[in-house]
């Protein structure tokens, strides 16, 4: 009897991750007593409202991760998988996983390059 409920809660938790719904994800992790798979999303809900990342901060952290991970910005096709992951981590509402998977590597690289150029300003 407990198994179907666990399955539903696990599915709901995964859906919350896909939708980047921090409040639902936080509640489900606590309800199930599980370690969060997406710690950033989990911590996002724990922050007081005034501490939410500003747009400027998002771009700064995006640029810093790009530099730290030595992402090949100049090559549009290179590092596509890592570019998708970084997009999703820093701009989850603009770049959802389902949408990014449908974008070809060259176009993704072009958008990524423009975003890096914008972040440098």
Confidence of residue 89 (pLDDT cuts 50, 70, 90): confident
* pLDDT reported for residue 68: 94
Delimit the domains of the chain by residue range: 2-48, 55-120
Q: What is the pLDDT of residue 73?
A: 94
Whole-number average pLDDT of the chain: 81
Structure tokens at 1: 């009897």
- pLDDT, one tens digit per residue, over 61-88 is 899 999 999 999 999 999 999 998 998 8
- 102 near 84, Cβ under 8 Å? no
pLDDT tops 50 at residue 51: no
| Cα–Cα distance, 6 to 14 (Å, whole number) | 12
CA distance 71 to 112: 10
Residue 57 phi, psi dihedral angles, 5° rounding? -65, -40
Q: What angle do CA 55, 56, 61 make, to 5 degrees?
A: 100
DSSP one-letter code for 92: T
pLDDT at 1: 47
pLDDT of residue 50: 45
């Amino acid at each position: 009897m407990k198994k179907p409920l666990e399955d539903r809660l696990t599915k709901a938790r995964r859906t919350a991750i896909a939708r980047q719904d921090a409040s639902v994800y936080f509640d489900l992790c606590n309800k199930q007593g599980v370690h969060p798979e997406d710690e950033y999303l989990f911590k996002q809900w724990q922050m007081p409202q005034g501490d939410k990342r500003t747009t400027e901060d998002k771009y700064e952290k995006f640029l810093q991760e790009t530099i730290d991970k030595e992402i090949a910005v100049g090559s549009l096709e290179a590092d596509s998988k890592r570019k998708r992951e970084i997009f999703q981590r820093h701009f989850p509402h603009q770049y959802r996983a389902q949408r990014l998977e449908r974008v070809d590597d060259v176009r993704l690289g072009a958008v990524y390059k423009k975003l890096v150029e914008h972040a440098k300003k």
